[in-house]
Structure 1
Amino acid sequence: MEKRTVYAWGLAILCFVVLMIVTPVIPQSEEYHDFADKREFFGIPNTLNVVSNFPFLVIGLIGLILCYHGNYFRLSLQGEVWGWTCFFIGVAAVAVGSSYYHLKPNDARLVWDRLPMTIAFTSIIAIFIIERIDEQKGTVSIIPLLLAGIISILYWRFFDDLRPYALVQFLPCIAIPVMAILLPPMYTHSTYWLWAAGFYLLAKVEEAMDKVIYEWTHHIVSGHTLKHLCAAMVPVFLTLMLAKRSVETDRRSLLETWKVSWTKVKANDVKVETYTCTYSNVPVVESD
């Protein structure tokens, strides 16, 4: 392993240890399980919060099939195949784990809700390292990142402390848009990453406003149900990106692309010439 890689991992671990020392413990609040919509249809408790997970299963299975069938995603690197496989397995498992949790919300079942989401989060980070930094380092990081996610879940469950899990969940929300904008891509259609990040952010807002949205919609749909639907748009956009993208010949970051576009817009504004029309007096011919 290169010295720079060792230093990077060492620095990351040091920052994590310092963070754990200086920040207070974050216990799991029992209020988290108190969702706004508790209605039961067809004998299914909390029906809408349960069935709204179905899109995760659909898109997860579609993604897994396309990873290995017909080369639709054009995954040229083995690390990419492993990373996207883990991602779509995590997405499909979200449907099972989250539905199981919402049938009877409690801490024990919440483990199975959060575990597949963590697999999806950590897989995405590894994929980004493969595509934007280094293929070998990204491939090697898949298993350590997955283990870090699983350990964060176990740490929360045994010590009632959400700090490691919160780091695993929210770090990709910050790192992925930043890397998507600043680092040159291997493939086209990088803006799909930003769409995915935007929908995930919207999903977190809807989750926080669960009861408020339930009141706003006159008890038709809750914020948590909408959260599931918006979060499912994340793998939808990433699947569309995989299907549409091609190898980027001109590896230019989104930030550089935006700068070039802005420069062209400014240049066009400068080059616009103004024209003035002058009207001459037309002699009037008097009729006899």
Structure 2
Amino acid sequence: MRNRSLYASLVSLFCFVVLMIVTPAIPQSQEYHNFADHRKFFGITNALNVISNFPFLVIGLVGLVLCYHGNYFRLSLQGEIWGWTCFYVGVAAVAVGSSYYHLKPDDARLVWDRLPMTVAFTSIIAIFIIERIDERKGTVSIIPLLLAGIISIVYWRFFDDLRPYALVQFVPCIAIPIMAILLPPMYTHSTYWLWAAGFYLLAKVLEATDEVIYGWTHHIVSGHTLKHLAAAMVPVFLTFMLAKRNVEPERQNLLKTWRVSWMKFREGNFNIGSYSYSGVAVVET
């Protein structure tokens, strides 16, 4: 098992090196800092893009409190506590870093916007390894993954190359939904991971259509402001998941659960009143 992990790490490192060799550098476009909504309210420059970060602070602090308050989240593994602590610290820090950046957008301030996001991304990967693959490996991976995220930001800042940061940001977006569907969960309510991934995807779409949405809404709200609100729903759904979940007695991946549900539906045995989906009981009305 240890050799297999070593081989996997070496293969991943080799793929990364090859990717860095065969792909061109991706410099930070200065157009990125030109957001659609520049309005000033209450003496705050770019006010809505700044204020819309407030939900990150709220959910980050709530999550941190609940991690340590009477074991409300029922975190039974030490690695889970560390992983979720890093995640909620990252989420709360996003509010500070992103607000600081949007007050006067430039590359120097963008570092403090992206740094807490990488902490949240990499923490989630470690948590997933703990829950779905191996507790010890996931716990050990927390610090290396955090360092990888920080190094990707430092590399971008010094070499003006976004490739490592892009990997840190987008690999979890692909890996987590796939792992959530294919790997058997330790806990119930696994579908909340997919809801979180869906809202993150929505946030990226809103970010890409910043100016378009600003025009559609007749300059009421921009896509980037809505992007912050959609992205804040990611930790909200994960917090709901932690509050509701229990240990899964029968570890069965979502793909198999969906297949069983579909077979029951086709056979006419799908009982809406009593069937529970991923641990969420459906109540008859």
**TM-score, length of structure 2 as denominator length:** 0.94
Partner of 1:283: none
- Where do 1:210-225 residues align within 5 Å? 210-225=210-225
Partner of 1:175: 175
Q: In 1, distance between residues paired with 2:9 and 2:44? A: 46
More off after superposition, 258-267 vs 203-212:
258-267
Aligned AA (1:226): L
Aligned AA (2:187): Y
Per the TM alignment, residue 266 of structure 1 is displaced from its structure 2 partner at its CA by 1.5
Partner of 1:135: 135
- Look up the SS of the partner of 2:268 in the other structure: helix
Q: In 2, distance between residues paired with 1:189 and 1:130? A: 16
Runs of 4 or more consecutive aligned structure 1 residues displaced over 2 Å after TM superposition: none
Partner of 1:35: 35
Deviations 1:55-112 (A, max 9, x none): 0000000000000001110000000000000000000000000000000000000000
Point out the structure with max Rg over C-alpha.
Answer: 1
Per the TM alignment, residue 235 of structure 1 is displaced from its structure 2 partner at its CA by 0.1
Partner of 1:186: 186
Q: In 2, distance between residues paired with 1:41 and 1:247? A: 47
Q: In 1, distance between residues paired with 2:156 and 2:101? A: 16
Partner of 1:88: 88
Partner of 2:278: none
Per the TM alignment, residue 132 of structure 1 is displaced from its structure 2 partner at its CA by 0.2
Q: In 1, distance between residues paired with 2:202 and 2:215? A: 18
Partner of 1:18: 18
Partner of 1:264: 264
Matched residue count: 270
% identical aligned pairs: 82
**TM-score, length of structure 1 as denominator length:** 0.93
- Where do 1:1-288 residues align within 5 Å? 2-268=2-268
Aligned AA (1:139): T
Q: In 1, distance between residues paired with 2:190 and 2:3? A: 31
Q: In 1, distance between residues paired with 2:189 and 2:174? A: 19
Deviations 1:168-220 (A, max 9, x none): 00000000000000000000000000000000000000000000000000000
- Look up the SS of the partner of 1:26 in the other structure: coil
- Look up the SS of the partner of 2:72 in the other structure: coil
Q: In 2, distance between residues paired with 1:196 and 1:268? A: 31
Q: In 1, distance between residues paired with 2:194 and 2:96? A: 27
Aligned AA (2:4): R
5+ residue gaps, structure 2, are: 270-285
5+ residue gaps, structure 1, are: 270-288
Deviations 1:119-139 (A, max 9, x none): 000000000000000000000
Q: In 2, distance between residues paired with 1:217 and 1:116? A: 30
